[in-house]
Amino acid sequence: MTHEEFTDCLIERIEKRSTVSEFSQHHADRRAFPRTKVSVQTELHVGNTNTPMREQTSDLSLSGCYVKTMVTTPVGTNLDVDLWLGAEKVMIHAIVVTCYPQIGNGIQFLAMPRADRNRVRSFLESRSDSD
């Protein structure tokens, strides 16, 4: 490979990265619910393990959250998430949608009881009122 071919290859890779970033931004703009930057205690229950992983969110919405963790879970893993909103525990069935090793997981909420959904909504609304 010549120096010129190598340079062209690097430029092509950089252009692809910006395309991915633009795609990611476009995807973020299409979210069903806005994210709120908030640290909430979580317990992640993966599979049949008796011991939950206790972590913190970095953001939360009605449709998902991002959990900071050094021990990440693979994309596609189904799990149960317990969020602690003050003294109230909210239970959610979810799936891992992003995984950044030693950083965290993006989690999409699949199902939660109506009462818990209302608790999350109220919590998020109270956070946006204080901004």
pLDDT range class, residue 127, cuts 50, 70, 90? confident
DSSP 3-state assignment of 10?
helix
Q: Specify whether domain 36-129 bears CATH 2.40.50.100.
A: no
Collapse the DSSP code of 4 into the 3-class scheme (helix H, G, I; strand E, B; otherwise coil) and give the result: helix
Segment 47-50 long-range contacts (CB within 8 Å, at least 24 positions apart): 47/79
Predicted pLDDT of residue 19: 37
Who's near 66: CB < 8 A, 6+ residues apart? 35, 57, 58, 59, 98, 104, 105, 106, 107
Q: What is the residue extent of each domain of the chain?
A: 1-30, 36-129
Mean pLDDT across 101-122: 94
What are the structure tokens assigned to 104, written together? Answer: 């965290």
At residue 30 the predicted structure's pLDDT band, cuts being 50, 70 and 90, is low
pLDDT in tens, 31-48: 678 888 999 999 999 987
| pLDDT interval class at 24 (50, 70, 90) | very low
> How much of the chain exceeds pLDDT 70, in percent?
74
Mean pLDDT score of the chain: 80
Distance, CA of 15 to CA of 31 (rounded, Å): 25
- The per-residue pLDDT for 14 is 41
